[in-house]
Structures are given as structure tokens and as C-alpha cells.
Amino acid sequence: MDKKEKAQGFSSRWGLVLTLVGASVGTGNVWRFPRMVALKGGGSFVLAWTILLFAVSIPIIIAEMVIGRATRHGAAGAFKDFIGKKYSWMGAFMAATTVAITAYYTVVMGWCLQYAVISLKGFGGYDTKGLENLFANISNGWTDVAVFVGVLLLTAVIVAQEISKGTEMIGKYLTPCLYVVLIILVVRALTLPGAVEGVKHYFQISPETFFNVDTWMAALSQSAWSVGPGFGLVLTMGVYTKAKSDVALNEFMQGLGDNSSAVLAGFVVLPALFALAPSVEAARTIAESGNYGLTFIALTQLFGDMPGGSIIAFLFFMSLFFAALTANVIFFSTGVVPLMDAKMSRKKATTIIFFITLVLGSFSAYSIDVLNNQDWVWGMALLIGTVFTCFAIWKFGAEKMRTKYINTPENELYIGKWWNVSVLFITPVLIIAMFIWWTIESVGWHEDWWNPLLIDSTGTFVFQILVLIGLLLVFNKKISQSVKNNYIDSVSEGYPEIPEEHQG
């Protein structure tokens, strides 16, 4: 293999798989999953979440990998070549959504790094009010903006390197580091007196909670927002995969890798929560305090009371930082690759996305209210991206896609017609139901639910999403014309090779 060939995409299968797992594993695995387990029926939630991994998430990321590899384009160009020019805006919507997520997610990454540094001094001197003030100071103001700029720059520097020396290297090294840290934390959490109560809750399955609609909607939300269908992440990484590497098995490994990290995080948080809280009821009350309240206030206070707590806290927040950085690199790339399709160099495209996310994210860094608003809006937009992917599969033909692009001669895992049923019926029905569910929920949060100026109103996500869709429809022709080459039609069978603009 010569030097030029080595530069073409991912250098190894494990590099690809670890990068894909890193793309899925984010802070939500470490803080949201354990909280949902505590609140939504313990083992009943875990079982529902596992079923939905195979019924919804894995089938869609298989499709995204196919679309990215078959077209060798980022999301906008991929939709253009896969189902037609007039649908380019759908792919652009997915890319724009993920860039918007990058802007505020980088802020969260900065919080994790700041807490890792602070934890070296220990949290023993803080009471609850002190920790609330600490989080308020860290998550608002110019210091947070400065840290945000630093970690965003780190992300951009990684993405600016050729794929095997930047994105793949982060996946190959930080993803295993995350698992090592989580395993160390699991061992310590399970040795705490009273940790068995958390473990019992983890495996407790009851018909009352398992057959509760709320449990399943929470499980679907966790799977949809964690594994990554609708983000365009897997589609983007598919551009850099070798033409003859396996699709189905790699995506099963990604999905299972993502879930395994969440399971490990559950064994860290739940035993510690139930062991160190004064009662089971108190543990559940802490879980109800939200992702930020649980992580940056409640758990931090528990670490302060724990022998060796400063070391455990440092490892915990570094695991959050590792998870955030590996995911953020792929989020960022989702905006870079479409610009490279328009014949920009990687460095120029990275610079443009850096400044876009810098402007957008600075508002979230300065005010947590803005961050919460953006998290609500673009989390809902991701569900629309998943529906767009299902539409693309239907438009192209699910059976054609399965037989031509998934069950190829080099494929190690045969995918049956159950996949067609999942992507054409099960997934769109469930994702649309989830979208309606959250919309109805949000209507009940505020009397003036229609007000687009409220942080988490129905009106704010409807307004912002419609503005984005309107702009993309207006500029759809220009978006489509920016992608000059069509690679999917260059081969009669199998996948095209990685094109020149994406070899570096």
C-alpha cells in the first residue's frame, strides 16, 4: 500500500469502528442514560432501550453508511445524488442541524474540562448552594466563552488533519480511554456500601413500568439522541470508508459499542447515587434534578463526601470530556465535508465551520438559557432528519438498497427483509410519534406555548426549524449546483472509491 493509498480514508477497520462508536458516545450516555434508568423503571427502561436499538437505531445508521459511501458526498450532495437534486435541502438540513448542535455541545465539553480541573482540588468544601453557584459561574459569562473558544479550536485542529491522522486517531485512542476510565469508576462505585440498591434498581423489570408508554418514549428518545440516526454523522464518515469494507457488521458494532458505554456509565452513577444518597427516595429526587443538576451539583457533592472523591471526580469528568470530544469531532466534520464537496480544501472548510460555530456557540457559552433553547430546538430537528433518511430509503427503494449495497459479497453479516420493515414502517412511525409526543408535552409547559421567545416552548422550535427549512428551500438550487461530481453512477456494482477531494 503506497503513501497515497494510506491517505484515502480510514486506515483500518478498528479505526473506523472506534471512530463510529466515539461519534455516538457522548455526554448523554454518561449523564442522561443513568438518570432515565433511575426515573423510568430501572430494568424496564433498559430492556425497552435495547429493543429499540435493534428495531430503530441500527437499521437507520446502516442506511446512512450506505448513502454516504455510495455517493461519496456529505449530507447535501448525498441526498442530491441518491434521490434527486430537488431533495438536496434535506441533506443540508441534517448538516445544518448538526453544526448548530456542535456550537452548543462544545460549550458542554468546556464545562466537563473545567470541572475536571476543579476536581483536583476537591469538592469537599462546597455545600449544595455553593455547588449551584459554582455551576452558575462556570456555565455563564466571559470565562465560559474563553474556555469554549479553546475547546472549539482544539476540535477544529483535529478535523483539519487528514482523516487518518486526525479524526481516526482521536477515535482510536480516546474511545478506549473512555472505556478504561468507566471500568475503573464502575469498580469503585460497586465497592461503596449500599451500592447494591442501585444495582437492584438497574435490573428491576416490572410489567407496570415495561408496558408504560412513558417508559418507551423515554427509551426511544435516549436511543434516537444517542446512537445518532438523523445526525448525518455516519453518512459523513461513510465518505471515508473503503469500498469493500463491511457495512452491516460495522454498524452493529457501533450501536452495541454506544450502548455498552451507557451501560457502564449506569454502573457508575446508579450505585454511587443510591449508596451515597440518604434514602432511595432522595436518590430519585436527585435524578429528577435534570442532566446538569445531577452531574454538576448532586454527583459532585457526593464525590466531595466520598473517600478519594477528588480522584474519582477527576476521572468522571475526564470521561465526560473524552466522550464529548470524540463526538464533537464528528459533529464538526458533518459541516466540513459538504464544503469539501464544493471543492474547498479541508483546512478552508474547517476554518469556515469554525467561525460559524464560534459565532453561534458564543451565545450559548455566555448564557445557559440560550444553550437550553438550542438543545431543545435542534434535538427536535434531529427527529426530522431521521424521517428524511427514511424518505430517502423509500425513494431509492429499500429492497434495492439492501440487495445492492448492504448484502454485498464482502459483507460478513446478512441482513434480511426485517430491515425493510424497520426503515419503511417501524422507524418512521415511532419517530413521528416521538415528535408528536414531545410537541404535545411542550404545549403543556407554558400557557403561551406559541411564544418563540421562550426557552423551551413549542413556538421556539417550530419557528427556528421553519426558518431553516425556508432558507434551504430558497437556496436549494445553489446547494445542489455546488456539488459538481456524481460518483454513484460511476460504477455499475458496489461502491465507488474515495474521490480525490476527500483523500486528504
**225-254 confidence digits (pLDDT tens):** 888 788 899 999 999 998 888 899 999 999
pLDDT at site 300: 83
CA distances from 355 to 103, 115, 273, 335, 483 (A): 10, 26, 40, 12, 22
Residue 333 has pLDDT above 90, yes or no: yes
Q: How confident is residue 488, by pLDDT bands cut at 50, 70 and 90? A: very high
CA 221, CA 250: separation in Å to the nearest integer? 23
By percentage, how much of the chain surpasses pLDDT 70?
Answer: 98
CA 239, CA 340: separation in Å to the nearest integer? 11
What is the tens place of the pLDDT at every residue in 386-411?
A: 999 999 999 999 999 999 999 988 88
Q: 285 versus 318: which is more confidently predicted? A: 318
Single pTM value for the model = 0.93
The rounded mean pLDDT for the chain is 90
- 145 within 8 A of 362, measured Cβ to Cβ: yes
Mean pLDDT across the stretch 15-24?
A: 85
CA 45, CA 385: separation in Å to the nearest integer? 25
Q: Please count the other Cβ atoms lying within 10 Å of the Cβ belonging to residue 500.
A: 9
What are the structural domains, with CATH classification, of the chain? 15-495 (1.20.1740.10)
Q: How confident is residue 302, by pLDDT bands cut at 50, 70 and 90? A: confident
**Which element (helix H / strand E) includes 130?**
helix 128-138
Which three three-digit cell numbers place residue 426?
Answer: 417501524
pLDDT at site 504: 61
- 234 within 8 A of 154, measured Cβ to Cβ: no
What is the tens place of the pLDDT at every residue in 358-378?
A: 999 999 999 999 999 999 999
Residue 466 has pLDDT above 80, yes or no: yes
Burial group, residue 340, by CB count within 10 angstroms (0-12, 13-18, 19+): buried
Burial group, residue 489, by CB count within 10 angstroms (0-12, 13-18, 19+): exposed
- 147 within 8 A of 113, measured Cβ to Cβ: yes
CA 108, CA 138: separation in Å to the nearest integer? 10
How many residues are recorded in the chain?
504
Q: How confident is residue 3, by pLDDT bands cut at 50, 70 and 90? A: very low
Mean pLDDT across the stretch 23-30?
A: 79
Q: 187 versus 90: which is more confidently predicted? A: 90
CA 227, CA 143: separation in Å to the nearest integer? 32
What is the tens place of the pLDDT at every residue in 96-151?
A: 999 999 999 999 999 999 999 999 888 877 777 888 888 888 988 899 999 999 99
- 229 within 8 A of 423, measured Cβ to Cβ: no
Which three three-digit cell numbers place residue 294?
Answer: 445531577
pLDDT at site 25: 80
